Amino acid sequence: MPATSPPVLSPRHVALILFALAMGGFAIGTSEFVVMGLISEIARDLGVTEPQVGHVVSSYALGVVVGAPLLAILGARQPRRRLLLWFMAFYAFGNLGSALAADYPTLMLSRFIAGLPHGAYFGVAALVAAHISPPEQRGTAVGRVMLGLSVALLIGNPLATWLGQILGWRYAFGVVVAVALATVAMTARVLPAGLGAPRTDAMRELRDFNRAPVWLTLGIGGIGFAGMFSVFSYLAPTLEHVTGTGPGFVPIALLAFGVGSVIGTLLGGWLFDRFGFRAAALVLGGAVVVLLLYPLAAQSPWTILPVVAATACMGALGPILQSHLMDVARDAQTLAAASHHAAFNFANALGPWLGGMAITDGYGWTVTGPVGAATAIAGLLVYALALRERRTAATCIVHVADAD
């Protein structure tokens, strides 16, 4: 990452900027997951089946995967403040279209459009957070920005779901529009123009992006993080068929998941500031143990809650890998940071797919834990490759220096 002097801002000013950026993450997190809680309401209103509404979630994820690199490349030469304002305004527009969608195809298109700025916003927000913070606090600052996504899981999604059930599902997206516009207003107010961040061009971004350290880091997230989504996606039927709880216990389990997500996000920033890239191995190693315990813990409501919370702590990978990408991406900062969230959405698709196949093959609902442990182990293998590549590159540099 090119060395540039961070702007001189007071701690209060930095905190306000991080809060504004996290508020955008709160809007994104609420919008991303609210469909899952309103599937029945949307299906009845639009006259489609619940599995068809499930495709709406996939449409959004596809928008994230497509939009993250595309918008990052198109915005490579734009000031980061301008990008943040445009991306969040774009997000408000996509969710307004979702709220006003008259039929199923329109909703599918609107969710795809809403997903486009998701990864690009988080990527640029993480770069801004790191740039305005002291070097030894970069991980913590990135974690605070991503905390908005975790708080959305804990508070935003349940509240939006409740509002959608009471007033209609369209109001849930209306709330997201309001929060997104508030984010635009606050960001414009507190984030100074001309942060002094380096600019680059699209060709340079693509050149430095297409390197092993970048792709291996993205691979750790895209594969290793899949285990969390494998468990989360099938948590409700596991509670019903294995734990033996009623529907009223599901919100409690989701609350535990939200608490774990918040803890994990804060923990990830702290771990990176102290252990650097090694923190990724610590999180993945812990995840393997927790996910292997999941089938046993699922037998009782008293044991499944802490394990669900611990599984959600895998969210610590987010700020760790995001911060590491800043160190290895060279001049592909925007593209790499945005692609980080595309990789996590790939994990969001991979985990449920693998878990679903295992369940269909007759291994039971709790097989999602061992499946998730397997993906975490695969993530550790990719980490080992990244570590080996890093050491090889360092050795080559030493040999070149000795030759000179």
Q: Do 222 and 290 fall within a single domain?
A: yes
Residue 293 pLDDT more than 70?
Answer: yes
Asked if 282 and 163 sit in the same domain, the reply is: no
Q: What is the rounded distance in angstroms from the CA atom of residue 5 to the CA atom of residue 127? A: 13
Is the per-residue pLDDT at 394 higher than 80?
A: no
Residue 339: inside a domain: yes
Given 191, 215, 234, the domain boundary residue is 191
- CA Rg, the chain, in Å? 21
pLDDT at 384 over 80: yes
Please indicate, yes or no, if residue 318 is contained in any of the structural domains: yes
For residue 340, tell me if it sits in a domain: yes
Side chain identity at 147, as an amino acid letter? L
The pLDDT tens digits for 154-199 are: 888 778 878 888 888 899 999 999 999 999 999 999 998 876 455 5
Q: CB of 81 within 8 A of CB of 365?
A: no
| CA separation for the pair 56, 79 (Å, rounded) | 33
Q: What is the DSSP string of 161-222?
A: HHHHHHH-HHHHHHHHHHHHHHHHHHHHHHS-S--------HHHHHHHHSSHHHHHHHHHHH
In this structure, the answer to whether residues 32 and 129 fall within a common structural domain is yes
Evaluate whether residue 25 is within a structural domain. yes
**Banded model confidence at residue 401, pLDDT cuts 50, 70, 90:** very low
Range of the domain at 351: 200-404
User: Tens digit of pLDDT for each residue in 320-330?
Assistant: 998 898 889 88
Residues 172 and 208 both lie in one domain: no
Residue 164 lies inside a defined structural domain of this protein: yes
pLDDT of residue 398 exceeding 50, the answer is: no
Q: Residue 6 has what pLDDT?
A: 54
Q: Is pLDDT larger for residue 35 or for residue 151?
A: 151
pTM: 0.78
**Tokens describing residue 351:** 């985990």
Q: What is the pLDDT of residue 323?
A: 86
**Same domain assignment for residues 216 and 183:** no
CB within 8 A of 356, min separation 6: which ones?
233, 234
Contact 322, 126 (CB under 8 A): yes
The DSSP H or E segment spanning 46 is helix 39-46
- The domain tally of the chain equals 2
Lowest mean pLDDT across 72-81, 193-202, 232-241 = 193-202
Domain ends where: 140, 166, 191?
191
Whichever domain contains 295, its CATH number is 1.20.1250.20
Does 217 lie in the same domain as 187?
A: no
Choice among 43-57, 179-193, 287-301 with the minimum mean pLDDT: 43-57
> What average pLDDT does the segment 263-283 reach?
92
Task: Examine the domain organization and report whether 116 and 230 are in the same domain.
Answer: no
Among residues 125, 159, 191, the one where a domain terminates is 191
Q: At what angle do helices 278-297 and 368-403 cross, to 10 degrees?
A: 170
Based on the fold, state whether residues 229 and 134 are members of the same structural domain. no
Give domain status of residue 306, yes or no: yes
In this prediction, residues 295-301 reach a mean pLDDT of: 95
The per-residue pLDDT for range 83-137, each reduced to its tens digit, is 999 999 999 999 999 999 999 999 999 999 999 999 889 888 988 988 888 878 8
Report which DSSP code applies to 366: G
Give the mean pLDDT of 380-390: 93
pLDDT band, residue 396 (cuts 50/70/90): low
216 and 148 within one domain: no
Do 134 and 205 share a domain, yes or no? Answer: no
Whether residue 178 sits in one domain with residue 48: yes
Sign of CA dihedral 310, 315, 320, 324: positive
Tell me which of 213-222, 229-238, 276-285 is least confident.
229-238
Average pLDDT, the chain: 86
Distance CA 288, CA 302 (A): 21
360 or 275: which leads in pLDDT: 275
Residue 148 predicted with pLDDT over 50: yes
Burial of 226 (0-12, 13-18, 19+ CB in 10 A): buried
At 205, the amino acid letter reads E
Has residue 225 been placed in a domain?
yes
| pLDDT value of position 44 | 86
Query: Count of residues for the chain?
Result: 404
Question: Domain for residue 1, yes or no?
Answer: no
For residue 329, what pLDDT is reported?
85
Question: Domain check: are 16 and 163 in the same one?
Answer: yes
Is residue 304 pLDDT above 80, yes or no?
Answer: yes
Name the token pair of 4. Answer: 């540039």
